[in-house]
C-alpha cells in the first residue's frame, strides 16, 4: 500500500491468459510478429494488438519495426528470468496445464530459455564450466576466467565482439524444471548460437524444445568434458 515498486501492475499484465501465452511464446527467444503472437494466444488480431500495446507500455516487450512487420521480443533477460521464476512457482503449486503430453520430458532435457540453453543440458553446461575452472561465481556475479575465454575462443566464439558493455557477459538463470542455475547472458546466448551453427541441435518448430542430433549431443558432451 505504501512502499516499494508497484508489483501488482506488472503481475496483472502477466496474469491475463492471452498475454501469458504471448510471453511464453517469446521465451523461445525469437522475435515474433503480431499476427504470429495472436495465433499463439488464440485471439483475434485486434485483441492481440491491444495486449501487445499494454505489454509494451509495461516495459515487458520491445518492438522492432521492419517494413510492414512489427517484431516483438521480450524486453530483456530480467523479464525472462522473472517468467522462469513464475513457472517454478506454478510448477510447485501443481498448476501445470492439462495438456502435458509426451513432449514434456524433452522439454526438461533441453530447451531454449529466451536466448540460451536451459534444461538438463543447460544446467550441465553451467556446472561443468564452473567445476573445470572456466567460470567463477562470487556474490551472484558470474565471470569468465582466462581459461574459460581461451576455451570459448577455441569453440569459435568472438569474445571481443561480444563485450559491448550493453549486456552482462555472464549471468546465472534459475531453471524451472531442474531447479538449479544455467548460464545466461551474452556468453550463454553466443554458445547457443554456436551450437546451432555447428549443426549440433536445432529448435523444434513452434516450441521451446531443443532437439540434439545423436552426433551433436556426443560432440556437445565432449566439449563439456574438455
Partner DNA sequence: TCCATAATTCGGTTGACGCCGAACCATAGC
Partner DNA sequence: GCTATGGTTCGGCGTCAACCGAATTATGGA
The number of residues making up the chain comes to: 226
- CA–CA separation, 46 and 3 (whole Å): 36
C-alpha cell at 146: 582466462
Rounded to the nearest whole angstrom, what is the least distance from the CB of residue 80 to its own copies in the complex?
Answer: 11
Choose, by CB under 8 A, the member of 65, 68, 97, 222 that binds its own copies. 97
Are 55 and 10 a contacting pair, CB within 8 Å?
no
Residue 50 near DNA by CB under 7 A: yes
Residue 59 near DNA by CB under 7 A: no
Choose, by CB under 7 A, the member of 43, 55, 61, 186 that binds DNA. 43
Residue 13 near its own copies by CB under 8 A: yes
- 3-state SS, residue 118: strand
Chain centroid to Cα 200, Å, comes to 18
- CA–CA separation, 72 and 62 (whole Å): 6
Are 162 and 189 a contacting pair, CB within 8 Å?
no
| Interface residue list for DNA (CB under 7 A) | 16-18, 33-36, 43-54, 67-70
| Interface residue list for its own copies (CB under 8 A) | 1-17, 19-21, 23-24, 40-42, 58-60, 78-79, 81-83, 85-97, 99-101, 103-104, 107, 123, 126-127, 130-131, 137-141, 172, 174, 176, 180-181, 207-208
Amino acid at each position: 500500500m505504501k512502499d516499494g515498486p508497484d508489483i501488482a501492475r506488472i503481475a496483472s499484465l502477466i496474469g491475463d491468459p492471452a498475454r501469458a501465452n504471448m510471453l511464453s511464446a517469446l521465451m523461445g527467444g525469437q522475435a515474433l510478429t503480431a499476427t504470429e503472437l495472436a495465433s499463439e494466444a488464440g485471439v483475434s488480431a485486434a485483441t492481440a494488438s491491444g495486449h501487445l500495446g499494454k505489454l509494451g507500455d509495461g516495459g515487458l516487450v520491445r518492438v522492432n519495426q521492419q517494413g510492414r512487420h512489427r517484431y516483438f521480443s521480450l524486453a530483456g533477460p530480467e523479464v525472462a528470468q522473472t517468467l522462469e521464476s513464475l513457472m517454478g512457482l506454478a510448477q510447485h503449486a501443481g498448476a501445470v496445464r492439462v495438456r502435458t503430453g509426451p513432449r514434456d520430458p524433452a522439454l526438461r532435457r533441453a530447451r531454449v530459455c529466451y536466448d540460451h540453453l536451459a534444461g538438463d543440458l543447460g544446467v550441465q553446461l553451467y556446472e561443468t564450466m564452473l567445476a573445470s575452472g572456466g567460470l567463477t561465481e562470487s556474490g551472484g556475479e558470474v565471470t569468465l576466467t582466462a581459461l574459460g575465454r581461451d576455451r570459448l575462443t577455441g569453440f569459435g566464439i568472438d569474445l571481443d565482439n561480444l563485450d559491448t558493455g550493453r549486456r552482462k557477459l555472464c549471468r546465472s538463470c534459475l531453471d524451472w524444471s531442474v531447479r538449479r542455475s544455467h548460464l545466461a547472458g551474452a556468453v550463454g546466448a553466443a554458445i547457443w548460437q554456436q551450437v546451432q551453427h555447428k549443426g549440433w541441435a536445432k529448435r523444434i518448430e513452434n516450441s521451446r524444445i531443443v532437439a540434439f542430433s545423436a552426433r551433436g549431443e556426443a560432440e556437445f558432451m565432449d566439449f563439456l568434458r574438455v
